[in-house]
Amino acid sequence: MKKKIRRIIVILLILVVAILIAIFGYNKLQDSNEQEQETIVKKNVKVITSETDKKKQPVSVTEDSIIFNSRPEYREGDVIVSGITSTSKNGFIRKVIGIEKNGDSYVVKTEPAVLTDVFEKAQIYKRIKLTEDGNKSASYSIGKTENTYNDVQNVISQADNTYRTVMLADKKEADDEDNGTDYVFGKKFEMESDPFTISGEAGFDVWLDIKIEIKHGNITCGMAIKSKEGGKILLKCGKDWNKEEEWGLWEKSLPNYEFVVAGIPIVVTNKLELNAEAGAELEGNIGLSYELASETTTGFEFKSKTGKVKEIKEIDYDSDGLQWETISVSGEASAKIAIHYISKLYGCSGIDVSAGISGKAEGEANQTANTDLEGGYAGSLDLSINPEIQGELIVDIPVFAEDLKKQPLFEAKMKPLWSKHWESSVKWKDDLEWTETGKQGSKYITRYSEVNNIACPVFQFDVPWGWKIESEEVGNGLDKIDEKVVLTNEEGVTVTYWDCQHQLGGRSELMLKADISKVADSEFKPTIPDGVGVDESSADEPYANLGTMIVAKIHVTGEMDMKIDTEYSDCDSVFYAVVPESYVGEREFIGQAGEVDEFSFPYPTPYAFIAESEDGTFTAGEEKQIINILKSFKEAE
C-alpha cells in the first residue's frame, strides 16, 4: 500500500513539473511569436547559417570580401547576415558592393552594414544567461507602446524567476564542475606578491540583456550586463609600501551564442574575467577583510533620433562592512575584486565593463595596551566599501547604427556603498602617543642588580606590540658583559641593551666613518648612578659630564682597511643608539666591538642601547618604532 502511495506522489510531482514547463514554455513561445510578428525584415536581406547548403556557404571570409566556390545568387545592394558557421565564428552583417570572378572562385566585395539595413521594423528583447558550457536565453514581449529601457528591465526581472525555473529542466547546468562557490562562475584564491597576500573567494551569475527597437529607419538599442555577485576577501600588507598589484584569477571566452529572430541569426560573443587588486601607500602593516553580496546592472541605451547614449548603472548590496587589524599603520590600503565583461554583437560592437567592489582604509592607528580604549587600538581611520565601475562602448565595426561611436562609460565616481569613520577617542592623536601600558611584560626592567643582589644602575625600556625578548644574558660579575638583552621584531630588526664591565675592545683592521645626527630626545636623565656614593662622586668622573642624552641616527658613510687603504671607500648603512648629545657630528671608530664601544656611555661602567638591522636599512614604520623604544630608555622608576 505504501509503495502505491509513493508511486502516486512521484507521478503527481512529474505531472506538475511537466505542466509548469509546458506553461512556461508556452509563455516563452508566445513572447517569441509576438516578437516575430513585430519584426519585419527587408526584402534585400540574405541569410547564411550552419544549416545552409554547403555549396552556398562561403569558403573564406575576410574584412571586405566573402569568397564562394560557386557563383552566389547575390546582387549589389543586398545585405548578407551570417550566423555562426565554420568560416565565420562571430557571424557578420555585410552589404554587397560588387561581385568578381577570381579563377575558380567568386569574390563578393562587401562593406559593413547595420541593423537598420536588416530590419524594417523590430522589437527584440532578449535575456541571455551566461554559463560555462553554453549560454541559454529567453525572449520577452513588452507590448506595442513606447517603453523606456527601465520598463524592459522591470518586465524581464519579473520574468526572471520563471526563466530560471524553466532552466532547472536543463540537467547539464546542474552537472557543471563545482567551482567552490554558490554561483555559476567563481573561484577560491590565494595570491602573494611582496608585501601583499590576498585570499578569499568570489562567485557570480551573469545575464546579458539585449534590446533592439527599429521603426521608420530609427533605432533604439542597448546592452546591459546584470550580475549577482558574492564573495569575501582578505588582504594583508606586511610592511611599508607604495605599490599597486593586480592578479588575473580567472578568464573564460564563452562559446559564441546565436539566437534567431524572424529568420535572422544574431550572434553574441562573450568574454569574462575575474581579477583581484591591492594597493598601499603606507608605513607599517595592515590587514583588511570584508564580505559582500551585490546585484549590479551596467550598460547603455542609444537612440538614433537624438544621437545620445544613456548609461545604465545600478547596484544593490548587502555587507557588514570593512574589518581591519594592525600593529602600527599610517597611510592607506585597499583590496578589490572586479569582474570584467566583454559582450559584442557579431564580435564588432558592444560593451566592455569592469565592475568591482573595493574595501579601503585610510588614516593612522596603533595597537595599544591602554585599557581605557575599546578594541585595543589608538588612532583614527576612514573605512569604506566602494563600487568601482569602468566601461567603454565598443564600436570596432558599426552594427547597431552608423552614427554610434566608441566612447567611455561610467566616468563619474560613485558614492561609497558603506562608510565609517573610526577613532579611538576625541583625543585620538594623544592616544597614539600613550606609552604607559600598565601591563606586565610591556616594559622591560634590567635584572643584573636583582640577580646579583648588588647596587648598580637599573634601567627600563618599552617592549611594544609586535616585538619580543629574543634573548637575556645576566652575568655574575666575572664576565666582560654583565647583562645583554636582545629585543627583536618579525623582520629581524634588533634593539640590544649592553651592560659591560669595561670596553670590549678586540683587534680589527677596519675603520669606519659615520655621521651622527639627533632624531629624538631621550627620557634618560643622568644623575649619580646607583652604587656610587655621594662622597665618592666627582665632577671629574665621565658620568658627571654626560649632559643631555638623545636618540641618534648613525649613518656609516665610509670604510677603510687600515692595512692596505689610505682613503675611505663609500658605504651606506644606518643604525640607532642612545648617546650623549655631544656625540653629534662626524666620528671614526675601529675594533671588533666598535659600535658597542664607540656608542656606549659611562655610568660609571659602559652601557649601550643600540638598534640595528641585518642590511643596515629600516622601513619608515620600523624607524618610528625603534626610535620610540630607544626614547623610552631610562632609569627604572
Give the residue with greater pLDDT, 178 vs 4. Answer: 178
Q: What is the pLDDT of residue 417?
A: 93
Strands (E), 372-417: 377-395, 407-409
Q: What is the pLDDT of residue 494?
A: 94
pLDDT digits (tens, 9 = 90+) for 386-403: 999 999 999 999 999 999
Are residues 248 and 275 in contact, defined by beta-carbon separation less than 8 angstroms?
Answer: yes
| Distance of alpha carbon 200 from alpha carbon 278, whole angstroms | 13
pLDDT of 622 > 70? The answer is yes
Residues 27-41: what's their mean pLDDT? 61
pLDDT digits (tens, 9 = 90+) for 511-569: 888 999 999 999 999 888 876 755 554 555 656 678 899 999 999 999 888 888 888 89
User: Coil, helix or strand for 444?
Assistant: strand
pTM higher than 0.95: no
| Distance of alpha carbon 324 from alpha carbon 332, whole angstroms | 12
Q: Which residues contact 605 (CB under 8 A, 6 or more apart)?
A: 482, 499, 500, 501, 502
| Distance of alpha carbon 401 from alpha carbon 437, whole angstroms | 71
pLDDT of 374 > 90? The answer is no
The model's confidence at residue 510, banded by pLDDT at 50, 70 and 90, is confident
Alpha carbon 38 to chain centroid, angstroms? 47
- Domains of the chain, by residue range, sit at 2-124, 126-169+179-430, 435-635
Nearest partner of 270 among 213, 222, 209, 316, judged by Cα = 209
pLDDT digits (tens, 9 = 90+) for 408-421: 999 888 899 999 99
Q: What is the pLDDT of residue 431?
A: 80
Are residues 524 and 633 in contact, defined by beta-carbon separation less than 8 angstroms?
Answer: yes
For residue 489, the surrounding DSSP H or E stretch is strand 481-489
The model's confidence at residue 440, banded by pLDDT at 50, 70 and 90, is very low
pLDDT digits (tens, 9 = 90+) for 73-96: 999 999 999 999 999 999 999 999
pLDDT digits (tens, 9 = 90+) for 166-203: 333 333 343 445 777 889 899 999 998 888 899 999 99
Q: What is the pLDDT of residue 1?
A: 53
Give the residue with greater pLDDT, 528 vs 498. Answer: 498
Are residues 589 and 556 in contact, defined by beta-carbon separation less than 8 angstroms?
Answer: no
Q: What is the pLDDT of residue 562?
A: 82
pLDDT digits (tens, 9 = 90+) for 571-613: 999 999 999 999 999 988 875 455 788 888 988 889 999 999 9
Residues 191-219: what's their mean pLDDT? 92
The model's confidence at residue 12, banded by pLDDT at 50, 70 and 90, is low
Site of grid cell 554559463: 131
pLDDT digits (tens, 9 = 90+) for 280-329: 998 888 999 999 999 999 999 999 999 999 999 999 989 999 999 887 78
- Evaluated on CA atoms 49, 55, 59, 63, the torsion sign reads negative
pLDDT mean across residues, the chain: 84
CB atoms within 10 A of CB 233: 23
CB atoms within 10 A of CB 96: 21
